[in-house]
């Protein structure tokens, strides 16, 4: 989601979303997610400028001119319009969990953060709130902009708000970039 109405999210609703996310399952009950609510206008502007620069750089990666122009025509973030912005980080050394479940798969901490994001996303959609995941960025630069500890890893930069125009069809599909593909193409049996 990239097009947001100007309607703010009620503080209680945002807290409800965060509380739902905090109930997500996590490896060893480590709860490694760290939410940074971005409220300072200058920080928001800095993040938007950073993403715009990365977006321009990414456009140059398409060899095909038609695809490059199609890419440039897409609105790939709502950082300036979204009423709320959350950065989700993974604490790579959480005290909680005592290392359970990560000896052979340390990435499970990051997967746990994704479950928290997914839980937040479902709770948001149930309330008519949209979520956009911004991924055209340099995680280290975002960490620096948000002044977080070095051992936190960026998992997501999320825009939250009410949709400007609700739709059941994802924008990238509506704009002809990529349609949803059949589950049968993604399901395997052995």
Under DSSP, is residue 155 helix (H, G, I), strand (E, B) or coil?
Answer: strand
Closest by CA to 158, choosing from 109, 185, 107, 123, is 123
> For 188, left (φ over 0), alpha (ψ -120 to 50), or beta?
beta
Model pLDDT for residues 110-136, shown as the tens digit of each residue: 999 999 999 999 999 999 999 999 999
Model pLDDT for residues 142-165, shown as the tens digit of each residue: 999 999 999 999 999 999 999 999
Q: Which domains does the chain have, with CATH numbers?
A: 11-172 (3.40.109.10)
Q: What are the respective helix, strand and coil percentages of the chain, to the nearest 5? A: 40, 15, 45
Largest CA distance in the chain: 53
């Amino acid at each position: 989601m990239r097009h947001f109405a100007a309607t703010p999210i009620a503080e209680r609703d945002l807290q409800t979303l965060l509380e739902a996310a905090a109930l997500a399952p996590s490896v060893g009950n480590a709860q490694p997610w760290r939410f940074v609510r971005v409220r300072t206008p200058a920080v928001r502007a800095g993040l938007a400028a950073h993403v715009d620069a990365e977006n321009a750089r990414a456009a140059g990666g398409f060899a095909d001119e038609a695809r490059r122009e199609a890419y440039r025509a897409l609105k790939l973030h709502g950082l300036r319009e979204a009423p709320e912005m959350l950065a989700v980080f993974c604490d790579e050394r959480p005290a909680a969990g005592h290392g359970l479940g990560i000896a052979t798969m340390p990435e499970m901490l990051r997967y746990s953060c994704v479950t928290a994001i997914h839980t937040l996303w479902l709770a948001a959609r149930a309330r008519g709130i949209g979520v956009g995941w911004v991924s055209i960025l340099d995680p280290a630069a975002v960490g620096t902009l948000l002044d977080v500890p070095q051992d936190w890893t960026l998992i997501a930069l999320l825009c939250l708000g009410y949709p400007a125009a609700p739709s059941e069809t994802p924008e990238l599909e509506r704009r002809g970039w990529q349609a949803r593909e059949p589950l049968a193409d993604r399901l395997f049996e052995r």
